[in-house]
Amino acid sequence: MATLFPFRALRPPAVLAARVASPPYDVVSTKEARALARGNADSFLRVSRPEIDLPEGIDEHADAVHAKGRDNLAELMRRGVLVQDPEPRLYVYAQRMGGHSQTGLVACAAVDEYDSDVIKKHEKTRPDKEDDRVRHIDALSAHDEPVFLTYRAVAAIDGAIEEVKRAAPTYDLVTPDGIAHQLWVVPPAAGEAIAAQFRSVPALYVADGHHRCAAASRVHARRRGQPGEHGAFPVVLFPHDQVQILAYNRLVRDPGGRGAQALLAALGDVFDVEPAASAQPDGPLTFGVFVGGRWWRARVRPGSYDASDPVASLDCSIVQEKLLAPLFGIADIRTSKDVDFVGGIRGAQELERRVNEEHWSLALHLFPTRVEQLIAVSDAGKLMPPKSTWFEPKLRSGLFVHPF
């Protein structure tokens, strides 16, 4: 049973929404955040990436950075750039990127349901990143960015959300990356009905935001017994059949310095390899290989992997176990300097450019993990390999903040 709560979102007036809305903190570097926020005192990056308002070179994890985020949030509230809704509400958030559209419900989820695995995980968090999020959220006394959840689609919930969308949206904007964002404030009666329907949903699944979930749990434990809504955290819930996962591609450097022909011969010992006209794999269990100045197609041989295991049967797992570890000695992709990762949103040209300019040995263009595979791994209580999913479009930050 999934329990959802309305909340009094801290959000911008409609006329300021486009100025406030920002990319998530973890998809831009400090340098990129400075450039994006330059000349815009209302950018939410001043809360999510507050080091941009401190001298260059400061450690982005320093106490002074988190304190600056708290001060900047208070300043945005003081100037009326962020205003708290008078009553708790649910919200509907729709995004459109090219030909893909997705509509989610914005609500607060219960920390206790995260702790008890009603909200299921598929990723192991990094302690340093989790610690930083704890300090950030605790300093703000607010969850400044929501968690992206998915669930098995329910037709009745889809219908109720579409009914909300019949009204004019409160926000209707297109961000500089070309992605359209719309937000509706759900009327109270409709919100109660939608929340009631979710109580029959047996499980929710973290798609993106594991560190934010874990940090919310730890902040709640730290503040247990103190006043405030720290037992809940903001989420956007999308039905599984609207979620888009792009490939998470690899760049590989051969420690042995083998040339293109030797690398192709080694690949051919494990996979069926043939020339390809494009980088894009034509289905699961295939991947593109850029080596020797052109693209090749590698196909996984039947029976060479455990199809019954939801983790071992992932394309990224097969690439790791059959290629990266045995052929390149890359046992741990989280620590190896011989592998790097490129989100699918950047396209095959970025892979080609980096191989040519940075002298990587080859690039791998994987077939995207499917959301059904993510759910199967989570249901089995297992973990996805690192760098196995890239969700697009990303949730925009600053449109609904949860102060506690």
Q: How confident is the model at residue 126 (pLDDT cuts 50, 70, 90)?
A: confident
Q: Is the pLDDT of residue 124 over 90?
A: no
Nearest alpha carbon to residue 108 among 240, 243, 242, 231: 231
Q: What is the pLDDT of residue 167?
A: 98
The phi, psi pair for 276, rounded to 5°, reads -135, 150
For the stretch 225-273, pLDDT in tens is: 999 999 999 999 999 999 999 999 999 999 999 999 999 999 999 999 9
* Coarse DSSP helix, strand, coil percentages of the chain, rounded to the nearest 5 percent: 35, 25, 40
Strand pairing of 286-291 and 142-143? unpaired
Is residue 361 a contact partner of residue 254, using CB atoms and an 8 Å limit?
yes
For 101, residues 6+ apart whose C-beta sits below 8 A from its C-beta are 94, 95, 242
Find the mean pLDDT for residues 108-131: 95
In this structure, which topology does domain 248-367 adopt according to CATH?
3.30.1760
What the block records as the tokens of 272 is: 């069926």
Is residue 216 a contact partner of residue 121, using CB atoms and an 8 Å limit?
no
Residues of the chain with CATH 3.30.1760: 248-367
Find the mean pLDDT for residues 197-204: 97
